[in-house]
Structure 1
Amino acid sequence: MSAWWLEEWVALDLETTGLSPESDRIVTAALVWTRKGVPVEMRTWLADAGQQPVPTEATAVHGVHERHAHRHGRPVGIVAQMIAAAVAEAAIDGLPVVVANAPYDLTLHDRELARHFSFPLDTWAGSKPINVLDPLLLDWALDQRRDGRRRLVDLCEHYEVVHEGPHRADADAAAAAAVAHRIVGHYPELRQMSLAEVHEAQVGWAVERAEARQRAKRRTDPTAVVDGRWPLIPRQEVAR
């Protein structure tokens, strides 16, 4: 079994127009190639989704104004295509793709692809699987008893990772990769598994985490439902 944790990794982060992966759109994106948690290459994009507004609430988070995105961004379909091609190349090369809160970013990216292309994200690499490392999920699964919040910024503090700028796509992607590398280094059981086995373990852990969150929510809302699908939610009808 190869020492996949010592190889190059690719980390993805998207900053968007809102909180819905089904209907919101990419504003900025970054792919960061890392080795042992240290960035070695970076690609960033500013996207223009045409008539789609960038709400002031979203601008307050990532700092990109609607006018700037429309004037200077590449068409969002081209951005989505370039990201998908790079992710597919990583999968073909057998590299892990690090995505913090994967069901949000990967689902939103998949829906952007659906608006412009017929192929779902998980088919762009052909028969090669896209093996994902989600530091938020890994941290929860391997250290469930720890109290406190578990946002990416919280994990950076816990694992002593310097975060250069929360909600900046390049900084978030680099931080996610660094945290994931610290987690893999801290837990030998992960290094005893193949990359594919770690991916499959996260599929099960995501279900367990969703069930735990649903139980907690139902203390105050008996109808609460938490989706445990990971790393992305399959397509149904895509909002244009």
Structure 2
Amino acid sequence: MTWKSRSRAAFDLETTGRNARAARIVTASIVVLGPDGAVESAHEWLADPGIEIPAEAAQVHGVTTERARAEGRPAAEVVAEISAVLQALFDDDVPVVAFNAVYDFTVMAAECARHGLPQLTRFPVLDPYVINKQVERYRKGKRTLGALCQQYGVVLDDAHTSAADALAAVQLLDAMALKFPELDKPAAALHRSQVDWSLAQAADFEAYLRRTKPAAVVEGDWPVLAPVDASRSGF
């Protein structure tokens, strides 16, 4: 069975910053859709990350430190619940769609380590960002979720809220599969392809950067970055 012929889930996080190994979860959404694209269930969380939310991050997702402390639940509880829902999906072989999945799953890996929780199996994962870079290698312009949604006619209201971004990611993947029918294959096979594609994409970008920055390094691990020492990761 191909991933389009069965249920799939969409996952997105909004966090305290761009460094996936150090960022803390602020909001999270998981939406499960049926084969017809209709929403079967939805989960949303607001966490108190336990640290100040930088103004730059709050401007993106709209959650301030004050709101997170007043309305958010303890981070350990939220991380445990998100992890449990995701692992149940993976255990049931439900593919989880996440745009730029390596960010979200690296944040989850760090949060699980931080709170003493088991690591996720993270299989199968489908990432419209990695997939788009493969099927439209020479596309010009930004490859943000908003830019790709506009290209493929996917409505993205309330961008940078986890619920809206999660739903848009799975709808974007559906639209991409219509344009590129070769993507409509079993989720496990597409997952394994993305591992290879991500490594190749990183190597190409690294080679480009090293023309002017000989020490440049681009990590190609997918769907999660390898952990680094605690002093750098924030674990």
- TM-score w.r.t. the length of structure 2 is 0.93
Q: Deviation of residue 136 (structure 1)?
A: 0.5
Report the AA paired with residue 40 of structure 2.
Answer: V
- Within 2, Cα distance between the matches of 1:188 and 1:202? 16
In the alignment, the residues of structure 2 paired with residue 40 and residue 26 of structure 1 have an alpha-carbon distance, to the nearest angstrom, of 24
User: In 2, distance between residues paired with 1:3 and 1:207?
Assistant: 24
> Deviation string for 1:200-225 (max 9, x for gaps)?
00000001111122122223322111
Give the alignment's Cα RMSD to 1 decimal.
1.5
Counterpart of 2:209 (choices 210, 217, 223) is 217
Residue ranges of structure 2 left out of the alignment (5+ in a row): none
| SS across alignment from 1:41 | strand
**Local SS of the residue matching 1:226:** coil
Alignment of 1:194 onto 2:193: no
Is the 2:2–2:187 contact (alpha carbons within 8 Å) kept by the matching residues of 1? no
Distance of 1:151 and 1:37 partners within structure 2: 22
The amino acid that maps onto 1:196 is A
* Map of 1:44 onto structure 2: 44
d(CA) in 1 for partners of 2:37 and 2:91? Answer: 21
1:162 aligns with 2:155: yes
1:110 counterpart = 2:70: no
Whole-angstrom CA distance in 2 between matches of 1:39 and 1:164: 17
Q: Helix, strand or coil: the match of 2:226?
A: coil
Offset at residue 236 of structure 1 (A): 3.8
Q: Which amino acid aligns with 2:18?
A: L
Q: Which residue of 2 aligns with 1:55?
A: 54
TM-superposed deviation, 1:71: 1.5
Deviates more, 1:224-233 or 1:74-83: 74-83
SS in 2 for 1:121: coil
Does 2:73 correspond to 1:74?
Answer: yes
**2:123, 2:188 within 8 Å by CA — same for their partners in 1?**
no
Q: In structure 2, what residue type is equivalent to 1:25?
A: R
Q: CA offsets, 1:46-105, max 9 Å, x none?
A: 10122x110111111111010110111011111111111111111122111001111111
Q: 1:210 is matched by which residue type in structure 2?
A: A
Counterpart of 2:221? Answer: 229
- Separation of aligned partners in 1, 2:140 and 2:156: 21
* % same residue: 37
**Matched residue, 1:203:** 195
User: Do the aligned partners of 1:96 and 1:132 also contact (CA within 8 Å) in 2?
Assistant: yes
Shift of 1:188: 2.0
Quick check: 1:101–1:137 contact (8 Å CA) kept in 2? yes
SS at match of 1:120: coil
Counterpart of 2:99, as a letter, is A
> Match of 1:27, SS?
strand
Distance, in Å, in 1 between the alignment partners of 2:170 and 2:154 is: 10
Distance across 1 between alignment mates of 2:52 and 2:10: 27
For 1:43, give the aligned amino acid.
H
Which whole-Å CA distance do the structure 1 matches of 2:79 and 2:117 have between them? 13
Aligned mates of 1:174, 1:164 — CA distance in 2: 10
Tell me the amino acid that sits aligned with residue 179 of structure 1: L
Contact 1:28/1:45 (CA < 8 Å) preserved in 2? yes
Question: In structure 2, the residue corresponding to 1:43 is in which secondary structure?
Answer: strand
Corresponding residue of 1:126: none
Bigger drift between 85-94 and 131-140 goes to 85-94
Q: Distance in 1 between matches of 2:211 and 2:59?
A: 32
Paired with 1:118 and 1:174, the residues of 2 have a C-alpha distance of: 27
> Residue 155 and residue 77 in structure 1: after superposition, are their counterparts in 2 closer, same or farther (change >3 A)?
same
> Does structure 1 residue 121 correspond to structure 2 residue 113?
no
